[in-house]
Amino acid sequence: MSTVPLAPGGASGIPGFLPTHVVPPGGLATWAGPDGAVPTTALDPLLPVRLVERRGDWGRVLCSNGWAAWTDARLLVVLPQDPPAAGGPLVRTDDARGLLARVQEALDRYRGAMEDLAAGRTDAEAFGQTARGLRIGAVVDGDAVWLYDAERDLWCYCDGTAMAALTSPAGPGGGPGGGPGGEH
């Protein structure tokens, strides 16, 4: 797992940060400029980011800690800001409580392994074995939540009463708002 540096001055967060995309499961390489000349720290898998500028296939992303870099914007997974069919009812796909429970279980498992490692009850190898295969993603914004469903490899939106699948593993053009060269 990479470490994304803090913004200059040690800023720990951007008030009101709202992601527009998520880094794909394999993570993404980044560069200082939209030219591929100076590589920087890679973005972690499933990291929520905000796409702030687009130049062809290049996209400048902003992380919640204020750090920004250029990456291949075509590979970012769109995280819709508006629920599907805005103004209309969601098509119920599943009860979100099951997915929320799986997210919580994975987070609890990771937290337990991390606490064991920090307390010296386990070593880095055992920590890695415990955490292997864990994959979650959640963005909560008031009454709306976007959850990553690792079993189906897609993001879902829930408004508290219904849940709908939003993005597919098909990549750009495969989900809502996707498409090569499109502004997101």
Query: Mapped to the 3 state alphabet, what secondary structure does 76-105 carry?
Result: CEECCCCCCCCCCCCCCCCCHHHHHHHHHH
* Residue 155: band (very low, low, confident or very high) from pLDDT cuts 50, 70, 90: confident
pLDDT in tens, 80-126: 655 555 445 555 566 788 889 999 999 999 999 999 999 999 999 99
Tens-place pLDDT, residues 43-59: 998 888 999 999 999 99
pLDDT band at residue 71, thresholds of 50, 70 and 90? Answer: very high
pTM (2 d.p.): 0.50
pLDDT for 135: 85
Place of tokens 């929520």: 48
Q: Does the pLDDT of residue 171 top 50, yes or no?
A: no
Over range 4-18, report the average pLDDT. 52
Closest C-alpha to 90, from 173, 168, 163: 163
Quick one: pLDDT band at residue 68, thresholds 50, 70, 90? very high
pLDDT band at 7 (very low <50, low <70, confident <90, very high): very low
Taking residues 14-22, report their average pLDDT: 82
Q: Which domains does the chain have, with CATH numbers?
A: 21-75 (2.30.30.40), 96-167 (no CATH)
pLDDT surpasses 60 at 178 = no
pLDDT higher than 60, residue 40 = yes
Residue type, 131: A
Place of tokens 């400048």: 60
Read off the tokens for 38. 């100076």
Q: What is the pLDDT of residue 13?
A: 62
Rounded to whole angstroms, the Cα distance separating 39 from 26 reads 17
Q: 150: pLDDT confidence band, cut at 50, 70 and 90?
A: confident
